Amino acid sequence: MNRIVYLLVKNGYLSEKNYIQFCRTIGEIPFNKISNQDYHMKKSELPDPFEKARLDKGYGKMNDQNDPVTMLLRLKDVRKSAHDYKTFQSAAKPGRIVVPSEVNIRDTRQIPFEVDPPQHGEYRAIVEPWFKRPLLPEYQEKLTAQISTLVDGILNKDNLEVINEFALPLQSRALTLLLNAPYSEAETWISWGTHVFRSEGEALDSDKANILYNYIDDQIDRAVKNPGEDMYSLLLSSEFQGKKLTKEEVKGVMVLTFAGGRDTVINAVTNSISYLAEHPEALERFRKEPEIIGKAVEEFIRYFSPLTQMGRVVTEDTQVCEHAIKADSRISLCWASANRDASVFESPNEIVLDRKINPHVGFGFSHHNCLGATHARQILKILLNTLAEKVESIEIMDCKENIEHLDEFERKVGFNSIHVKFKSLT
Amino acid sequence: MAKITFITSDNETITLEGTSGSVMALAVDNGIKGIDGDCGGVCSCATCHVHVAAEDMDKTGSASEIEADMLELDDNVDEFSRLCCQLEISDSIDGIVLKVAK
Ligand code: HEM
Ligand code: HEM
Ligand code: FES
C-alpha cells in the first residue's frame, strides 16, 4: 500500500505536500527515498556500489585468499590496462587472474584466456571463425526454434523458477549449437545444476570442478577415436606453431568455453526477464520497434555486466590513479563499475533501451574481449524477439538476490532464484 | 543517395550505394571484409574501423571524443581513423573513400 502511494507521488499523480499532509492526518509515517531505499527499489534494479570509490579515488581494494586485488573502477583506466598486456598480464599462474582466485583448484591453463600476445593471437585465430558461426542464418534459425519451444513450454505456467527451469536449459541447449554437439548433451549439462564448480555453501570445490574436467576428458577421447564435426574435433585437428594441439590445450579451450559461457549467460537471461517483468512497456516497444532490439541487448549487457571483473597480474612496479602497485600483485578490471562511469554514460543507472552511443566494456576490451560475445548476443536478441512475440506480461512472485561480497563493496549481480509467471499474448 | 568506396586490406575496391542508416550497416550487409560491426553500431566494439581518405575528411568530420577514446587503443589508428558505425549515410558524404583498417 505504502509503495503504491509512494509511486503515485513519484509519478506526479499526487503532490508531495498533499501526501505528507495526508500521512499526518491518518497518523502514518511518510515514506521517503532515503530511509526506504530498499523497499522502493525495483527488483530488477542493480545498484552501483562502486560510485563513491570511483569518483573519490578511482580504485577499490579487496582481499581474496591473501592475494589482494586493486580494482580499477574508471572506464578509461579499465580500457587502458586491458590493452597494456605487458604490464598487466593474463599469462600468470593458472587461476590467478580470476577473482576469487582459482589457483588452489586447477592447474589447467585456460586458452586463450590465460595466454598473452603474441601467442594469444595465434590461439585465438584457431577458434575465432568457429565463434563467429552464430552470425550464420541456419545457426540463428536453430537457436530461434530452441528458444521458441522453450518459451511455449513455460507460458502461463503458474510458478516458474527462472534460473533452473528457463535460463539454465536455454543456455545449455544453445551451447550444443556453439559446440556443434548432439542436442541430447544438453541434458547432461543441465543435470550439473548451476553450481558446476561448487557444492552448497563452499566457495570453490575441486571435486565438483572434476565433474566438468572428467566429462571434457571423456569427450576429447571420444573425438580422438571418432572425429566428427564438433568443436573438440576441430581443435584436435588444429595446429599451434606448426604442431597439433595437445589434449591439455584442447581441454584448456573447452573448459573455458563451458565456464565462461555459463553463469554469464544465465545471469544475463535472468536479469533480462526480471527487467521485462517490471517494464511491460519494453515488450510493447520491442513489438512496435523491433529494430531497437540490438541496442537494447548492448544496454542490458552494460547495465547488468554479468561478469563483474577479471584480474591481471602486474609484471613491474607501476601506478594506477596515483596509487603504487607492486610487481607480482594483482589488479582487476572492474567492468561493472566502468559501465556506470558517468563521465562517459549519461544517466548511467538507467536502462535506456535505444542508447545510441554505448561504449561499454561488458564483454571486456582489447585482446581478450569475449570470444563468446557473438553467441551471447544472438541468444539475447532472439530471446527478446521471441518474448515480444509471445508474452504480454511477466509477474514476479518472489526472488532471492545474489550478492557478490567484494570486501569494500557488495554487488548485486542477479538472483539465486526468481519465481515468475509468464502471461501469454491473446 | 551516396556512393561510398571501400578499399579492403587485400586491396579490393568496392563501391556501394546507400540512402540511409550507418556506413557500418551498409558494409556489413554487403559483406565488406574487415568490417564486422559486432556491437551493432553503438560504439563499443571498434570492429568497424576505417581510415578516411585525407581529402574526404571535411565531408566526414573527425571522430567524436567517445569515438576517439575507443580508437586511441587500436593498433593502427591515425588522424584519419573513424568508427564507421558513427558515419550516417547522406548526400553530404557522397563519393568518400574508406580504407578498411583490418
Ligand atoms: C552475456 C554473456 C557474457 C559476458 C558478459 C561475457 C563477458 C566476458 C568478459 C568481460 C571477458 C573478458 C575477460 C578478460 O578480459 O580477461 C570474456 C572473455 C571470454 N569469454 Fe565471455 N562473456 C559472456 C559469454 C560468453 C560465452 C557464451 C562464451 C563461450 C561459450 C564466452 C567465452 C569467453 C572466452 C573464451 C573468453 C576469453 C577470450 C580471450 O581470452 O581471448 N563468454 N567474457
Ligand atoms: C575453469 C574455469 C573456471 C572455474 C573453475 C570457475 C569457477 C567459478 C565458481 C566456483 C563460481 C561460483 C559459482 C557459484 O556461485 O556456484 C563461478 C562463478 C562465475 N564465473 Fe566462473 N569459473 C571459471 C571461468 C570463468 C570465466 C572464464 C568466466 C567469464 C569469462 C567466468 C564467469 C563467471 C561468472 C559471471 C560467475 C557468476 C558470478 C555470480 O553469479 O556470482 N568464469 N565460477
Ligand atoms: S560497430 Fe561496434 S563500434 Fe562500430
DSSP A143: H
**Residue with the nearest Cα to atom 7 of ligand 1?**
A363
Homologous superfamily of the A49-424 domain (CATH): Cytochrome P450 (1.10.630.10)
Q: Quick one: closest CA in A to B29, which residue?
A: A135
Question: Quick one: pLDDT at residue A37?
Answer: 44
Listed in sequence order, the residues at least 6 apart from A64 whose beta carbon sits closer than 8 Å to its beta carbon are A99, A100, A101, A330
User: A113-131 burial, b for 16+ CB within 10 Å, e for fewer?
Assistant: bbbbbeebeebbebbeebb
The answer to whether residue A356 neighbours chain B at the CB level (below 8 Å) is yes
DSSP-based three-state secondary structure for A80:
helix
Cα A317 off chain centre by: 32
Cα(A113) to centroid of ligand 1, in Å?
A: 9
Residue with cell 586491458: A82
Check: CB of residue A400 under 8 Å from CB of residue A325.
no
Q: Domain-by-domain residue ranges, chain A?
A: 1-39, 49-424
Check: CB of residue A352 under 8 Å from CB of residue A65.
no
The answer to whether residue B16 neighbours chain A at the CB level (below 8 Å) is no
Sign of the Cα torsion A151, A157, A160, A165 reads negative
Q: Could you read off the pLDDT tens digit of each residue along chain A, which spans 426 residues?
A: 556 666 676 666 677 677 777 777 777 766 654 444 444 579 999 999 999 999 999 999 999 999 999 999 999 999 999 999 999 999 999 999 999 998 988 888 999 999 999 999 999 999 999 999 999 999 999 999 999 999 999 999 999 999 999 999 999 999 999 999 999 999 999 998 887 665 545 555 667 678 888 999 999 999 999 999 999 999 999 999 999 999 999 999 999 999 999 999 999 999 999 999 999 999 999 999 999 999 999 999 999 999 999 999 999 999 999 999 999 999 999 999 999 999 999 999 999 999 999 999 999 999 999 999 999 999 999 999 999 999 999 999 999 999 999 999 999 999 999 999 999 998
Of A101, A303, A370, A374, best ligand 1 pocket probe by most atoms within 8 Å of the beta carbon: A370
On chain B, the residues whose CB falls within 8 A of the CB of A359 are 42-44, 66, 69-70
DSSP-based three-state secondary structure for B70:
helix
Neighbour order of strands in the sheet with A330-333: A59-62, A69-72, A330-333, A310-314, A88-89
Question: Quick one: pLDDT at residue A34?
Answer: 42
Peptide bond into A118 cis (omega under 30): yes
DSSP A361: -
Q: In whole angstroms, give the CA distance from residue A272 to residue A288.
A: 19
On chain B, the residues whose CB falls within 8 A of the CB of A120 are none
- Determine the residue type at A61: K
Q: In whole angstroms, give the CA distance from residue A320 to residue A351.
A: 30
Q: Which atom of ligand 2 is nearest to the CA of A413?
A: 40
Contact B66/A355, CB-based, under 8 Å? no
Sign of the Cα torsion A410, A412, A413, A418 reads positive
Burial class (CB in 10 A: 0-12, 13-18, 19+), A1: exposed
Residue with cell 548492448: A298
On chain A, the residues whose CB falls within 8 A of the CB of B40 are 294-295, 297-298, 377
pLDDT tens, B43-60?
999 999 999 999 999 999
Q: What is the band of B79 on the pLDDT scale with cuts at 50, 70, 90?
A: very high
* Other beta carbons within 10 Å of A322: 8
Cα A373 off chain centre by: 11
DSSP-based three-state secondary structure for B18:
strand
Check: CB of residue A213 under 8 Å from CB of residue A248.
no
Contact B66/A373, CB-based, under 8 Å? no
Question: Quick one: pLDDT at residue A193?
Answer: 86
Q: In whole angstroms, give the CA distance from residue B47 to residue A77.
A: 21
Q: In whole angstroms, give the CA distance from residue A76 to residue B3.
A: 36
- Please give the ipTM for the structure prediction: 0.94
Fold of domain B2-100: Ubiquitin-like (UB roll) (3.10.20)
